[in-house]
Amino acid sequence: MSVPLMGMLLLLSVAMAGAGIVIAVLLLKNPPLPPATFCAVLVLIVASSTAAVYCYGWFSVTLGGPFPELCEDRNASGAELASLKQEYWPLRNACVYSDGSTVEYVSPSVNVVVRVLAGLAVVLTGAAVFLRRRVRRSPESTAAQGPPAGRAGAQ
């Protein structure tokens, strides 16, 4: 992916997370609160936060930060620098030495945060779908709405 595209994705995901937070606050201030709708807003917040954290990690890998300069020509055991390794999933910058040792410069916490947020988004999506289907099938919701409009004149 190109840097401008990832930059736009980062800005869009931060804006969506902010909008989701504003929507969640407005929903909490105006009861009654439909649980499925609130779960959907939480999915928006968590998913856009996941994208923002991933983009941050992607930029740290792509733009390198202090990465290439941090690689020593030789490690503590005297092995020479064999190669530089950059991966986008999982996000990592690494100095690979001839003895097989590596020194990573992207924190593994970025990968952990991305995976936890993505998992939470999937769980919340499932909860929103479950709550939405449960509301549709509950007898109280159909009784409160009355008969369908097409059958009202036929009775």
Q: Give tens-digit pLDDT for 60-79.
A: 777 765 455 667 888 888 88
Residue 87 is predicted with a pLDDT of 80
Q: Which of 93, 94, 101, 104 is nearest to 75 (CA)?
A: 101
Q: Which of 111, 113, 102 is nearest to 70 (CA)?
A: 102
Q: Give tens-digit pLDDT for 75-92.
A: 888 888 888 888 877 777
Residue 148 is predicted with a pLDDT of 56
Tokens in use for 30?
């105006």
Could you give the 3-state DSSP secondary structure of residue 98? coil
Counts of helices then strands in the chain (DSSP H, E): 6, 3
Q: Give tens-digit pLDDT for 90-116.
A: 777 788 898 888 887 776 777 888 899
State the pTM of this model. 0.69
Residue 155 is predicted with a pLDDT of 47
| 96 φ/ψ angles, rounded to the nearest 5 degrees | -105, 125
Region 141-147 average pLDDT:
52
